[in-house]
Structure 1
Amino acid sequence: MKSNLLLLTLLLMGTLFVSCKKEDFRHQNDFENSFQKWLDFKEASDNSYRYRIAGGSWTGTGWETIITVSKGKVVQRYYKFSFPVGWTGTIPGNDETEWTENESEINSHEHTGAAGAVTLDQVYEEARNNWLRKRSNAETYFEAKNNGIISSCGYVEDGCQDDCFNGITITFVEAL
C-alpha cells in the first residue's frame, strides 16, 4: 500500500513539475516547498482533512465554504453567505444563505457562491496549471500560511477595479 502511495505521489509530482516550463510559472520555489508540505500533511493525515475557502466583496458581503475530505474523497461541503449590518441588497444566486451537502448530495446546490467540492490535490493542480501561470497583464500572488500549505494563490489583472482576485483563499487546513 505504501509503495502504491509513493508511486502515485511521484507520478503526480512529475506531472505537475513537467506540465509548465519554468519561465511560464510564477512563485515556483514557494509553490514546490508548499506542495511538499502538502504531501507530508496528506500522508500524516491519511488524506483525511477539512479546509475553509473564504471570499468577500467590496460591498461588505462575504462567504465561506468548508470542504471535508475523507481518504481522498470529498464527503461534505458547507456554505455560508454573510451580509454586513444593515444589508438591503439581494442574495446572489439562489435564496439559500447557508447549507450543508453530505456525500450523496455533493454539488447539488448550483448557481451559488460556494467553492467547488475539490480536494487539495485539485487545488494544487489548479494553482500550478492556471493561477500561477505567467501573464503579461496581471500580478500573481502565492502564500502558504497554513503551516506551509497553500493559503492564497491567484492573480489580479492589470486595471481591474474591484472584486478582481482570480484564485483561492484558504483560511485553515486541519486533519480529521
Structure 2
Amino acid sequence: MKFLHDIFLFTVVPVILFSCSLETFNDNLEEKGENGYTFSESRKQWKKLKGKNGNSYEYVMLEQSFTGFGSETTITVKKGKVISRVFHTFIISDEDGTKTLTFVYSEDRESLGTHEEGALPVTIDELYKTCLSQYLIADPETNTVYFDTNEEGVISLCGYVPVGCQDDCFTGITISSFNWISRK
C-alpha cells in the first residue's frame, strides 16, 4: 500500500501541480496589450519585421522612479548583432519637467559589456526569451502581469507588479523607443 501511495505522490501530484501552472502561464500569454497583440502574435510579427528590415534596429530601455531619477540605455543592433550601447542617468525636475543628465557612457563593439550600469547589450530576440522565461511566468494571483507592443507589434513592455505594491514595483522590460536602421 505504501508503494502505491509513493507512486501517487511522485507521479500524479507533480502532474496536477504542473498543469495548474501551465494554465496560469497560458493565461499570461494570451493577455493582449493596448495595440492588440498577444505575446505569441507579437513574436510572430517580430520575426516577419526583422527579416523585412535586415534585423537592424535601435531601441531604448527605460528605468524610471516616481522620484524623478532614471536611466536610459540605447542598444544598436546591425544584422542581428549588438554593435553599441549608450547609457545615461538623469533627474527630472519637479518644477519644470526638464531632464538633467547625471552620468553617461558609450560602448562600441570592442567594449560592449565593460560597464555594469545599464540594460544588458542584448537583441530583441533575447528580450522576447527573457519576457517569456522570467516575467510572463509570474503568478497572476499575486501579481499584475503586463505585456504590450508598439504599433508595429514589437515588444515594448513585459513584466509584473506585485498586487498591492505602491511605488517603483515594476519588474521587467520597458522599451521607450524603437526604430529600424539602415542595413548598410
TM-score where L is the length of structure 1: 0.76
In structure 2, stretches of 5+ residues that fail to align are 1-20, 31-37, 95-101
Structure 1 residues 46-125: aligned runs within 5 Å: 46-85=54-93, 97-110=103-116, 112=117, 114-125=118-129
Poorly superposed stretches of 4+, deviation over 6 Å: none
Aligned partners of 2:28 and 2:137 also within 8 Å? no
1:110-133: per-residue Cα shift (whole Å, max 9, x none)?
1x2x11111000000011111111
Give the percent of matched residue pairs that are identical in Structure 1 and Structure 2.
Answer: 35
Q: Give runs of aligned pairs for residues 1-176 of structure 1, distance below 5 A.
A: 21=22, 23-29=24-30, 30-85=38-93, 97-110=103-116, 112=117, 114-135=118-139, 136-176=141-181
Do 1:51 and 1:68's aligned partners in 2 also have CA atoms closer than 8 Å? yes
SS of equivalent residue, structure 1 residue 66: strand
Per-residue CA deviations over 1:18-57 (Å, capped at 9, x if unaligned) read: xx94542444240011111111111012111111111200
Q: How many correspondences in the alignment?
A: 147
Larger radius of gyration: 2
Unaligned 5+ segments in structure 1 are 1-19, 87-95
Q: Is the 8 A contact 1:143 1:153 kept in 2?
A: yes
Offset, 1:173: 1.8
